[in-house]
Chains A and B, each alone.
Chain A
Amino acid sequence: MSKIYIVEDDKSIRTELAELLRNAGYETECLTDFSNSKHHIMESESDLILLDINLPSVNGETLLKEIRRETDTPIIMVTSRVSEIDEVLSMSYGADDYITKPYNPTILLLRISAVLKRSSKENIKTSYRNLQVNTAKGSLSDGNNEIILTKNEMIIFQLLLDRQGQIVSRDDLMTALWDNEEYINDNALTVNISRLRSKLSDFGCENAIETRKKQGYILI
């Protein structure tokens, strides 16, 4: 389980953010004493840091620079400053991503997971039951046979696989698809899911994706 460190001075956002991340299966720790921020952050040994720019007593960008000098723990800047200048500065100081408030929580989770995967702090699941997932080729294989998934099917399957055993809402699937430049509509999602189901059952994985009414889908 990856541990995420939250540096955020607004108490209400901090609590909600922590809850969001815990629900998504991360371990969280929050900074509450801003007098010696850097020390606390370094001590926590987290896998990822969410860092706000407007902080009491220290500027987030300065803090970012100081942390970067000592560790290459992934850092995502989360800020209410919508400004290209701040983004470019943050990225040049070594931030891994830059997200502006108010953010879409699903997008935030996708970004976190992407950054963690890139820094390989999170294990990338490459197998499902007896199947090997080849993301680069966009295919599934059981050693003998190989089936090519479309880009949409791969995005859906990857998200379900990442959260295997948990319900993934249609909204989350939609966000992930749109985030990957696949601007599909509701019906197309249903079609994609059923195609994915039939491809999986070709490998003998019957009922791999279950529908939970009004909630979403779950990969068993």
Chain B
Amino acid sequence: MSFRKFLADKSVNICISLFAWLIIWNFLSAFHIKSWQIFIIGIIYFLADIIKILWEYLRRKKFYTDIISNTENLEKKYLISAMTEPPEFYEGQIFYDVLCETNKSMCDNVAEYRRHSTEFQEYIELWVHEVKLPVASLLLMCHNNPETSEKYSEQLRRIDDCIENVMYYVRSENAEKDYLIKEVSLKRTFNASAVKNREELQQRNISLKAKNLDITVMTDSKWLEYIIGQIIGNSMKYFSPGREPEIDVYAVENEDNVILHIRDNGIGIPAHDLPYIFEKSYTGENGRTHAKSTGMGLYIIKKLCVSLGHEVKAESVQNEFTDISITFGKNDFIKIE
């Protein structure tokens, strides 16, 4: 709080004082009061004024300096009312009360939206479980009536994929629940994903090679299964017509981490798109010119990986390969001996 600005703010008060003194001075002169007496009265008058202004300034200074520096230092600025002591002067108290009041009202407002969002998320989760029932039922019907099966079950798998995407999007947005990190075999998790995508891989004549997956990592196997499924799904979408499509899956164990590579020999990702592929709704050149893309898949994968504490990276050379790697940290403390 600057004294100069405070003084400038008080300029009207000072003018009134000066004006009043002019009247008093004229008045006193009219009564033939001696000039040294007028001088003493003047000193008392102005001294009182100066003390008054200084007093006002000092009372306000502490409160306002606090509130300004707190606001600057706080990362979450809305906590300012909790971080500042209530002032001792009246106007300050009014200001402080209003601040607290608006803050509370905003908190209520935010809580309302948070509740809405949680309720919506819960409803989606519930809906996902519900909608899986008719899908499961239809898949069984297809299997029981083999003459219609092939075409229908393919479409059902597509529906199931869409449902999974919704579910994992919701989970990735609100990651504090629904996952459990434990020791998971890469081989088993990859197998579940591969079996799930078998029909599509075979229809497209893609050969799948798995090597060196006999490693366990700390993760949530359901989430990882989804992540691997999505990556394989992308490889299937963007294969190169010029050569035999291949997906190589292998893990590399280092001293402090395990890296799972999923590498395909598809059309690759243009270098100018590569830095942005994990961003929300980013479709890039491939998404426009080749298979249809929503730009959500890799974004969800990234979010899930971040929640699980894994690092996901993409390497690619256009028209040669794409290699998506997931790095799992190693931590012996988590292992139960």
A-B contact count (CB 8 A): 91
Q: Does B137 contact A181, Cβ atoms closer than 8 Å?
A: no
Question: Secondary structure at chain B's binding surface: helix, strand, loop or mixed?
Answer: helix
Q: Tell me, yes or no, whether A211 is within 8 Å of chain B by CB.
A: no
Please indicate the chain B residues that have their CB under 8 angstroms from the CB of A175 in the complex: 195, 198
Contact (A181, B187) CB under 8 Å given A10-B137, A87-B222, A103-B136: yes
What mask results when residues 80 to 116 of chain A are scored 1 for a CB within 8 Å of chain B, else 0?
1111110110000000000001111111000000000
Tell me how many residues of B have a C-beta within 8 Å of chain A.
39
A12 within 8 A of B: yes
CA distance A105 to B198 in the complex (A): 14
Taking the complex as formed, is B254 at the interface, i.e. its CB lies under 8 A from any CB of chain A?
A: no
Q: A13-B133, A87-B222 are in contact. Are A185 and B194 (CB under 8 A)?
A: no
Quick check: is B53 within 8 A (CB to CB) of the other chain?
no
Whether the Cβ atoms of B139 and A85 lie closer than 8 Å is no
Which residues A21-73 have CB closer than 8 A to chain B? 23, 54
B198 near A10 with CB under 8 A, answer: no
Main secondary structure of the interface of A (DSSP, over half): helix
* A186 near B202: Cβ-Cβ < 8 Å: yes
Interface flag for B259 (CB, 8 Å)? no
The verdict on A174 contacting chain B, using a C-beta distance below 8 Å, is: yes
A181→B178 contact, CB < 8 A? no
Further pairs besides A13-B136, A85-B178, A101-B135: 12, Cβ < 8 Å: A80-B133, A84-B223, A87-B222, A88-B180, A101-B132, A101-B136, A102-B139, A104-B139, A105-B143, A174-B202, A179-B191, A183-B209
In the assembled complex, 10 residue pairs joining A and B whose CB atoms fall closer than 8 Å, in A order, are A10-B133, A10-B136, A16-B144, A20-B140, A84-B179, A102-B132, A102-B138, A102-B160, A103-B139, A169-B146
Task: Point out residues on A near B: beta carbons under 8 Å.
Answer: 10, 12-13, 16-17, 19-20, 23, 54, 80-85, 87-88, 101-107, 169, 174-175, 178-179, 181, 183, 185-186
